Structure 1
Amino acid sequence: MTIKFSLLVTIFLSTVSVVAQTYITNVTILDVKKQKLIKNQTIEITGDLISNIKKANRIKIPETATVIDGTAKYIIPGLVDSHIHFFQNGGLYTRPDAIDLQKYWSYDQEIALAKSDMETTLKRYLQNGITTLIDVGATYNFLEQRNTFKDKTYAPEILMTGPLLTTYEPEVYSNLGKDEPFILTQTIEDGINGVKAQLPYKPDFIKIWYIAGRDGLSIEESARKNLPIVKAIIDEAHKNNLKVAVHAVQQITAKLAVEHGADFLVHSVKDEVITPEFINLLKTHNTVLSPTLQVHGAYRKTFGQRLEPSDYELRTSDPHQLGTLLDLKHLSDSALVKTYKTHSNTPKSISSLKKADSISMVNLKILADAGILIATGTDAGNIGTLHASSYLAELKKMHESGMSNWQILQASTLNGAKIFDKEMEFGSVTIGKKANLLLLDANPIDSIENITKINLILNKGVVFNPAELLQDSPADLAQRQLNAYNFRNIEAFLEPYAEDVEVYTFPNTLKYKGKATMREIYGKLFKNVPNLHCELESRIIKGNVVIDKERVQFGNTIKEAIAIYHIENNKIKKVYFVK
């Protein structure tokens, strides 16, 4: 017995000794719990856990360890996006119930693309510093696909529900089998069975789409009519040790959901300023709320053709999904496009959006100051709210609401962990927690935009250089410059090009060379030419060469064009225009 025990101890110690160790030295830690900076710290990481934190001069570093110099840098926990949808891509064709464009791109094609792109989407999230994702409405297929990424070091942790349980289902989503994102629950029995049907797929929680008013009743009458079903779902989920997230955008639906056990509200209340009674209700039930401030406006701005993506979004988003958001400028169904554009740009529609945004932001400030747990979430995947790159816009709107940068950082890290009682596992830079960390070149407390100035990412203890995690393909580079062209953004347009780019008239007549000349030419074009728009008609990709057939509008003039892009060292080095 003694010999066996000694042998086991020897094996254990030898195993521990070969576990890789990483040290981040002389770094400033942002303590999101106590909201303070801790300077001159060295963090020891063993395997995928933070194993020690001490003053820089009080820790001995083994010669075999990997050492990262954190001097003049800042370390924060990996970010959490508490509200995304993998079954939606963020582009124009992802919600046929909102705008049906299936004659151009079918929903079968769209959902197939979402599934095939999941790995790239996960890498894009990690590249943007997001190490935990909460999918608050998926499908059985995505629940199964989630499992394939569990042990991938490039993949954030994924917490996912299955199809949304709802008393209202858009017809376009029915009869899709394991790709169906909804379970229609019209009775208490339907609600209970809807929970039971998900259990074999091992969801992390259950989600209710609490839609009121679609049955012709008033919001409150409809909410109370469907309350027994909502309550039955919550009770059945809790009986199976699953928390419940609820989509509720009116104060009455949110109030009823929380009174009957909802753990997580996944949107702001936007119909009225919340009451003290509602705040106390959230406190009593320890309910978490994710405000999702940008998603509603992104729909309206896309349909109204008023979308203005930031330089950051143009540079870091999925360029092909971003590109689709401008397709309304050239789709052949001009009557449908005109209807959507006109409706979205009426004074009533714009006023309604401003009112809802204002109420949401006022409510967020009230809740944050009252100590309610706020968790940052984007609702990424919806039209105009792109995966990963939309995170910064959400943080900026939270700041605009009046939240401090400390409050925002806490909402984006520790509070996301608290949704599912995982605050002892991740969410702060603490000994024993997961080594999901961001090393930043600037302090996000000085400016929340500094959260994007990522030097290195640690996910599951593995170190990643964000520039190498996910590189643009030749087609991506061609699409990025096209997007920026259409949005008249000169800096984002120039970014994919090499400094010494050469522009030719095909086959070999040099027109000009260098970004400086390109800046002058296209800067004037963007500034002075009305109705500037380039429609991509077709694209051929051959190795590092991309050939685009384009239909370009300059004012009232339309020209057909062919552009040939040669990529070298991840930049567009040469461009040939065929007359």
Structure 2
Amino acid sequence: MKNSLVSVFAGFWAITGFSQTYITDVTLADVEKHRMLPGKTVVINGTVITDVKSGKVPIPVGATVIDGSGKFLMPGMTDAHVHFFQNGGLYARPDAIDLRYLMPYDKEIKSSHDNFTPALRRYLANGITTVIDPGATYHFLKHKQELAGQTQAATVLMSGPLLTTYLPEVYKDLGDDAPFHLVQTPDDARKMVREQLAHKPDFIKIWYIANGEGKDMEATARKYLPVVQAIIDESHKNNIKVAVHATELFTATLSAESGCDYLVHSVEDQLIPDSFVQLLKKKKVVLCPTLVVSDGYEDTFGQKLNISNHDLRMADPHQMGSLLDLKHLADTALVNAYRKYTVSDKQLKRVLEANSICMKNLKKLADGGVTIATGTDAGNIGTLHASSYLDEILRMREAGLSNWQILEASTLGGAKVLGKQQSLGSIAKGKKADLVLLDADPSANIENVTKINKVIHNGVVLQPEKLLVETPEQLVQRQLNAYNFRNIEAFLDTYADDVEVYTFPEKLDFKGKETMRKIYADMFLKTPNLHCELKGRIVRGNIVIDNEHVTFGSGSIDGVAIYHVENGKIKKVYFLP
């Protein structure tokens, strides 16, 4: 009888795809008590952590074993604020800079549709196993449901379109692609909440804009307070949480007093009083600081982007490349106006003051016991999906948060946004097996969250490099970005060690990456105004042909470059004079 039962259960596990994984002798990050626990074995059955043990553990035959010796295991991270209707590139927000004559908005919308699943893979490769989108569209809500349970893409939680008291003209009449719905009365508010519920959002989002009418902001905020209260009340009646965009102390205070669950930005207009900290604690409101998003706009419009190797490697290369388009747009009057305003003394002072206030407020809230959730507001211009997460946590560190505070905000804090802390956010028996195995200790240096060995999502062990397999076109675009940012290491990273560079058709100019380093490092250092504009591109299998216009100093040149890609690197380049 016993043998029969064993056979029955063995057959059951085989049919259902049940699997066991043991991560042995690993140092575990306890994000709740802020401590590292060495010598642990984490047992995963299917999609769930079924045990966390100390010492030597017997391992059954057939189980997958991951040797965690010298490695560090932390919960999967959450980016608690992204927007998938935006790509993060220059054309993402026509209400901020209207370039629809260059990039029609319907084309940008299609691009955001096409980039959704690749972006979720990109998040997962960065150790971000869950993303929260507070402000999606009905299109994305439908697509999100189709992705439920995927192991090759991060889990996504979404609100519907933002319910707003102010609607920019460019977002009107977009149907299922509308990211904003205008609400002007409490009755409309309740009706729109009920309408959204039919699309199965994970929560409701309010865009509480006090300056949309150009009048006294606090008076405007109080005018629309009944609308905000009606949305919150109707949502809570239906057991669904509410997030609010509120960047002024009075809008944030009114939102918290009205019962909101989640504030998705920092208060940026003034330093918060102790009473605000106590209010958020009493009401159990989670706050997401989004410290870097404004910099994305400022640095893009001011043409002062400083992009890291991490960004160049991990961001969508096409969206990143678009951020430099202002350097060659024909509408110089528009470009110069944006740049002049952005780099003016008045604007620079305003931005510095706002950033300082946000960081001081974050430090006070975190030290005061308010739940913080790490989030980027990725998708906005200059804040690229997935890669911007590192920028955000580094800014949190600059604000004075400890590495442990940041780790907790990036894991357990993100889980608490929508009340998922019983199943996500820490490593414990019964919780979902969303984990990140690191080669270095994140509690010693928060940047070590990027030193990813493996990602475990829904219990499946994944290799980050296999989640981000570049096409030849993406690789060539990445090298073009590195060229334009004059980043020699990122540039060389795209080339094979034995790269060959020719003058077409067959004159070998030089061979080898080290020779390339000498030539291009000198060029990047000594050439003013160096910029390559892509005029056209043809892709044929592993060959990418670029029509390029290169400016340097006061001169320029047109040419064609033919890139041959082999084994994920550029092996040969042919230049046509």
TM-score tier after normalising by the smaller chain length: over 0.9
Q: How does 1:224-243 map to 2 (within 5 A)?
A: 224-243=222-241
Task: For 2:381 and 2:490, locate their aligned partners in 1 and report how far apart those are by CA, in whole Å.
Answer: 22
Is the CA contact 1:457–1:466 (under 8 Å) kept in the aligned structure 2? yes
Contact kept, 8 Å, 1:269 with 1:360, in 2: the verdict is yes
Task: Tell me which amino acid in the other structure corresponds to 1:56.
Answer: G
Q: Which residue of 1 aligns with 2:131?
A: 133
Distance 1:492 1:508 in 2: 27
Amino acid at match of 2:451: K
Mapped pair 1:446 → 2:419: no
Report the residue type matching 2:573 in the other structure.
Answer: V
Separation of aligned partners in 1, 2:395 and 2:43: 35
Post-superposition shift, 1:561? Answer: 1.1
Q: Which residue of 1 aligns with 2:299?
A: 301
Determine the structure 2 residue equivalent to 1:404.
Answer: 402
Contact 1:539 1:549 (8 Å CA) reproduced: yes
Q: How does 1:339-350 map to 2 (within 5 A)?
A: 339-350=337-348
- TM-score under structure 1 length normalisation: 0.97
Matches of 1:182 and 1:11, distance apart in 2: 53
- Alignment partner, residue 21 of structure 2: 22
Q: 1:390: Cα distance to partner?
A: 0.3
Cα RMSD over matched residues?
A: 1.5
1:208-261 superposed Cα distances (whole Å, 9 cap, x missing partner): 000002213211111111101110111011111110000000000000000001
Q: Distance in 1 between matches of 2:81 and 2:476?
A: 30
- Cα displacement (A) at 1:14: 4.9
Match of 2:454 in 1: 456
Match of 2:276 among 260, 269, 278: 278
**What CA distance in whole angstroms lies between the structure 2 residues aligned with 1:556 and 1:389?**
34
Is the Cα contact below 8 Å between 2:149 and 2:458 reproduced in 1? no
Instruction: Give the corresponding residue for 1:416.
Output: 414
What's the secondary structure of 2:102's corresponding residue? coil
What residue number does 2:142 align with? 144
Contact 1:25 1:56 in 2 (8 A): no
Quote the Cα distance in structure 1 between the aligned partners of 2:533 and 2:370. Answer: 47
The answer to whether 1:63 aligns with 2:66 is: no
Q: Distance in 2 between matches of 1:517 and 1:182?
A: 53
Change (3 A) 1:391 1:574: same
Distance in 2, Cα, partners of 1:193 & 1:405? 44
| Paired letter, 1:416 | G
Q: What CA distance in whole angstroms lies between the structure 2 residues aligned with 1:457 and 1:13? A: 27
Q: Secondary structure at the match of 1:252?
A: helix
Residue 216 (structure 1) aligns with:
214
Of the structure 1 ranges 358-367 and 8-17, higher mean CA displacement relative to structure 2 is found in 8-17
Q: Deviations over 1:52-95 (max 9, x none)?
A: 111231x1101211111111000000000000001000000010
Q: Contact 2:204–2:243 (CA<8 Å) still a contact in 1? A: yes
**What is the rounded CA distance, in whole Å, between the counterparts of 1:155 and 1:477 in structure 2?**
21
For 2:348 and 2:6, how far apart are their aligned partners in 1? 69
Letter in 1 for 2:177: D
Provide the C-alpha distance between the structure 2 equivalents of 1:142 and 1:19, rounded to a whole number of angstroms.
31
Identify which of 325, 328, 331 aligns with 2:329.
331
8 Å CA contact 1:184–1:190 kept in 2: the answer is: no
Stretch moving more, 86-95 or 208-217: 208-217
What is the 5 A alignment of 1:507-518? 507-518=505-516
Instruction: Give the aligned partner of residue 425 of structure 2.
Output: 427
What displacement does 1:10 show? 8.3
Residue-by-residue CA offset, 1:256-305 (whole Å, 9 max, x unaligned) = 00000110000000000000111111011010000000001110110000
Residues 286-345 of structure 1: CA deviation (Å, up to 9, x unaligned)? 100000000011101100001111110011100000000000000111111111111101
Aligned to 2:575: 577
Query: Would you say how many aligned residue pairs link Structure 1 and Structure 2?
Result: 574
Please tell me the residue identity of whatever aligns with 2:269. D
Q: How does 1:5-154 map to 2 (within 5 A)?
A: 14-16=11-13, 19-57=18-56, 59-154=57-152
In structure 2, the residue corresponding to 1:238 is in which secondary structure? helix
Q: Give CA-to-partner distance per residue, 1:471-520, whole Å, 9 cap, x none.
A: 11101111111101111111111111011111111011111111111111
Contact 2:20/2:43 (CA < 8 Å) preserved in 1? yes
Instruction: Using the TM superposition, give the Cα deviation of residue 420 of structure 1 relative to its aligned residue in structure 2, in angstroms.
Output: 1.3
Which residue identity does 1:32 align to in structure 2? Answer: V
Q: Secondary structure at the match of 2:243?
A: strand
SS at 1:572 equivalent: strand
Contact 1:185 1:229 in 2 (8 A): yes
CA distance 1:65–1:10, shift in 2 (3 Å): closer
Equivalence for 2:543: 545
Deviation at 1:9, TM superposition (A): 11
Q: Deviations over 1:360-394 (max 9, x none)?
A: 00000000100100000000000000000000000
How many angstroms apart in 2 are the aligned matches of 1:399 and 1:15?
A: 48
Deviation of residue 143 (structure 1)? 0.4
Tell me what 1:202 maps to: 200
Secondary structure of the 1:374 match is coil
CA distance in structure 2 between the aligned counterparts of 1:43 and 1:209, rounded to whole angstroms: 42
- 1:95/1:383 contact within 8 Å kept: yes
For residues 245 and 450 of structure 2, what CA distance do their matches in structure 1 show? 29
C-alpha displacement of 1:426: 1.0
SS of match in other structure, 2:224: helix
Rounded to whole Å, the distance in 1 between the matches of 2:267 and 2:10 is 54
Query: Is the contact between residue 208 and residue 251 of structure 2 (CA under 8 Å) also seen in structure 1?
Result: yes
Whole-angstrom CA distance in 2 between matches of 1:172 and 1:548: 33
5 Å matches for 1:558-573?
558-573=556-571
Instruction: Specify the SS of the correspondent of 2:498.
Output: strand
Runs of 4+ in 1 over 4 A off after TM superposition: 7-14
Task: Give the 3-state SS of the residue equivalent to 2:32 in structure 1.
Answer: coil
SS at match of 2:341: helix
Runs of 5+ unmatched residues, structure 1: none
Partner of 2:444, secondary structure, is coil
Q: Which residue pairs with 2:473 in the alignment?
A: 475
* SS class of match (1:84): coil
Partner Cα separation in structure 1 for residue 184 and residue 88 of structure 2 = 29
CA deviations 1:398-420 (Å, max 9, x no partner) are 00000000000000001111111
Residue 504 of structure 2 corresponds to 506
Query: 1:16: how far off?
Result: 4.7
**Unpaired stretches in structure 2, ≥5 consecutive residues:** none
Whether the 8 Å contact between 1:204 and 1:242 is mirrored in structure 2 is: yes
Which of 374, 379, 390 is 1:376 aligned to? 374
- Partner of 2:429, secondary structure, is coil
- Structure-2 separation of matches of 1:11 and 1:211: 60
SS of match in other structure, 1:54: strand
User: What is the rounded CA distance, in whole Å, between the counterparts of 1:447 and 1:38 in structure 2?
Assistant: 17
Q: Deviation at 1:192?
A: 1.1
- Classify the secondary structure of the residue corresponding to 1:83: coil
SS of residue matched to 1:145 = helix
Structure 1 Cα separation of the partners of residues 259 and 8 of structure 2: 48
Q: Aligned letter for 2:378?
A: A
After superposition, the Cα gap between the structure-2 partners of 1:270 and 1:525, relative to the gap in structure 1 and judged at 3 Å, is same
Instruction: Tell me how far 1:15 sits from its aligned partner.
Output: 2.4
Offset from partner CA, 1:421-479 (integer Å, 9 cap, x none):
11110111111111100000000111111000000010000011101112111011111
Kindly state the Cα deviation for residue 118 of structure 1 after the two structures are TM-superposed.
Answer: 1.1
Q: TM-score if structure 2 supplies the norm length?
A: 0.98
> Corresponding residue for 1:168?
166
Per the alignment, residue 528 of structure 1 pairs with 526
Aligned residues of 2:149 and 2:155 also touching (Cα < 8 A):
no
